[in-house]
Structure 1
Amino acid sequence: MKLLKNQWKRNLILVIVAMLMMGLAAGCGTTPSKSSEKKTVNIGYVNWVEDVAVSNVWKVLLEEKGYVVNLKSLEVAPLFVGLNKGNLDVFMDCWLPNTHKAYWDKYKDNLDDYGIWYTSEAKMGLVVPKYVNINSVEDLKANKQLFDGKITGIDPGAGIMKMTAELVKNYDLDYEVIQSSEAAMLTALDKAYRDKQAIVVTAWSPHWMFAKYDLKYLEDPKKSYGEAEGIHTLANKEFTKKNPEIAKMLKSFKLDDQQIGSLESLINGGMTPEDAAKEWIKDNRALVDGWMK
């Protein structure tokens, strides 16, 4: 009888040890429980200053909430393809109803529109320094030599570039629209401005260039770029279904011209976009807390 009791005790101890080991394995194994998994958010952005700025703000804010956030820089066309397929979750710089109309019409069945976040007037057009003595797109024809027959643009997939190509045709301008990037366009503008040379560039508001340089939009009687637009946040529909809490936060996101300008100026002043976002959030905590409720 004593032998049986001892055997029973040993078996009980073995069972307890086995149960403890199973618990440790469950907690420390390679497959975490769903409650411990961190959700990943993939934000696609175009390398335009307002998009870089706000995408980094939301990277910082969502990481504060415990999400893993990946920022992916793409040109507009592949960005919309990725957003449509679900490889990207969010895009924060969709200009509607004109600039990105073709992409929205093509992919809207798989996308959600979270609304307009930029509360001031969003517009685009051709811009020259104010010291250049022309005021209208129509004046470009007689001043081809002054501008060397060139309009300095940005990346070729951008909606503003397609509109500019149409503008050249509509006004019968013998001009070449130079494809480059926002950074290259700004470098060319900066050099021309310092040398007081004539230059015409594709531009849009909001943008810090209007704070740094004394610029003017050329009048466009044919309204090649349409009326003022809204800047929308878009998301993949499946992402919205799985992340209603993020959708709610992003729908609350609003910035006016002064607020986005103060953020962009930190980046233009030499800070990395992420560091600028952190600094700006610290200085505007009451505002951002309102979005995150």
Structure 2
Amino acid sequence: MPKHPMRLAGLALIAGAGLAATTAQAQEKGTVELAYVEWASEVASTNVVAAVLEQAGYEVELISLSAAAMFQALSTGDADAIVAAWLPTTHADYMERVGDKVDDLGANLNGTRLGLVVPAYTDVDSIAELDANADAFDGTITGIDPGAGLMSLTEQVVEDYELEEMDLQSGSGATMTAALDSAIKNEQDIVVTGWTPHWMFSRWDLKYLEDPKNVYGDAEQINTVARKGLEEDMPEAYAILDAFEWSPEQMGEVMLMNQQEDSDPYENAKRWVEENQDVVQEWLPAQG
């Protein structure tokens, strides 16, 4: 499968850590290939993990893929790991398909949520009210990339709530937030597919629409998943991935940094790692 790396991350000397590796050490340890989806949350977490792996002496390649391709790459060994599996609902179908070809290392972040999101000033409070108020939203639910599990769930929402006057429009995370920004600036109603953690909740006053049928399910978690054999091939990298765990607030710090004009997610991740060595040391194997 062709790979589309966003960046072949160079080795980084992590300020003050005293654990930076030489190029020779990194070449000896090898390259860890991390796949991810272009969601703000996964861009943040994947770059942070890349910076930590580099601190431990690995080279890291980041591979941006659709959700389906991301899990496929893990199952075939074309990627080593992801820190972007939303479970037990959003990516359940993908995890079922890859089956025993991967290792689920458990949650790296708890407290996620999926649903339809509107500005706080919107009068509508429930998904069940959308069809009767379709004109206020131009009959559109603004979504993200069509391969996302969130979009599949939203298609189910349209069916279960019989939203005959509403169409689900696919796009990307960036086009969704751009549409949200434009609507709020003009004090217009808009409904988008949303999830927590996401920087948009820090920037704007938003609310989730109630989901009385519970189609989106309860709170989820984001898991780390590795290809079979990684533990044997790169035990230290596997241990770091297994230990990686942070909070929505910590992820939010990085996501907000990434929203600054002309910011670089990789440089922001390195900065966060440098400034949070107390947290990072909990993910690194004990030395000696």
Superposition TM-score, scaled by structure 2 size: 0.87
Residue type at the aligned position of 1:275: E
> How far apart are 1:231 and its partner, in Å?
0.6
Conserved? CA contact 1:118–1:254, under 8 Å: yes
Please name the residue that 1:82 is paired with: 73
* SS across alignment from 2:98: helix
* SS across alignment from 2:130: helix
> How far apart are 1:36 and its partner, in Å?
5.9
- Given candidates 258, 278, 286, the residue that maps to 2:278 is 286
* SS across alignment from 1:180: coil
Residue type at the aligned position of 1:130: A
More strand by share: 2
> How far apart are 1:66 and its partner, in Å?
2.1
Residue type at the aligned position of 2:105: Y
CA 1:36–1:227 in 2, change beyond 3 Å: closer, same or farther? Answer: closer
Residue type at the aligned position of 2:149: G
- Given candidates 63, 70, 76, the residue that maps to 1:72 is 63
> How far apart are 1:64 and its partner, in Å?
2.1
Please name the residue that 1:160 is paired with: 150
Distance 1:89 1:105 in 2: 18
Please name the residue that 2:120 is paired with: 130
1:183-198 matches, within 5 Å, as 183-198=174-189
Conserved? CA contact 1:129–1:198, under 8 Å: yes
Conserved? CA contact 1:99–1:160, under 8 Å: yes
- Given candidates 95, 98, 104, the residue that maps to 1:104 is 95
Residue type at the aligned position of 1:129: P
> How far apart are 1:38 and its partner, in Å?
4.1
CA 1:216–1:35 in 2, change beyond 3 Å: closer, same or farther? Answer: closer
Please name the residue that 1:54 is paired with: 45
Please name the residue that 1:275 is paired with: 267
**Residues 99-153 of structure 1: CA deviation (Å, up to 9, x unaligned):** 111111110211001110113x111000000011110001101101110110000
Residue type at the aligned position of 1:133: D
Conserved? CA contact 2:25–2:57, under 8 Å: no
1:4-19 matches, within 5 Å, as none
- Given candidates 137, 145, 149, the residue that maps to 2:139 is 149
1:169-208 matches, within 5 Å, as 169-174=159-164, 175-208=166-199
1:207-222 matches, within 5 Å, as 207-222=198-213
- Identity, in percent, stands at 42
> How far apart are 1:280 and its partner, in Å?
0.8
Residue type at the aligned position of 1:40: T
Please name the residue that 1:241 is paired with: 232
Distance 1:268 1:72 in 2: 21
* SS across alignment from 1:37: helix
Distance 1:159 1:208 in 2: 20
> How far apart are 1:58 and its partner, in Å?
1.4
CA 1:242–1:133 in 2, change beyond 3 Å: closer, same or farther? Answer: same
Conserved? CA contact 1:263–1:280, under 8 Å: yes
Q: Which is worse superposed, 216-225 or 65-74?
A: 65-74
Conserved? CA contact 1:76–1:157, under 8 Å: yes
CA 1:162–1:286 in 2, change beyond 3 Å: closer, same or farther? Answer: same
**Residues 163-206 of structure 1: CA deviation (Å, up to 9, x unaligned):** 10010011110211101000110111111111111100000001
Residue type at the aligned position of 1:288: V
| Larger Rg belongs to | 1
Unaligned residue ranges in structure 1 (runs of 5+): 1-32
Conserved? CA contact 2:143–2:169, under 8 Å: yes
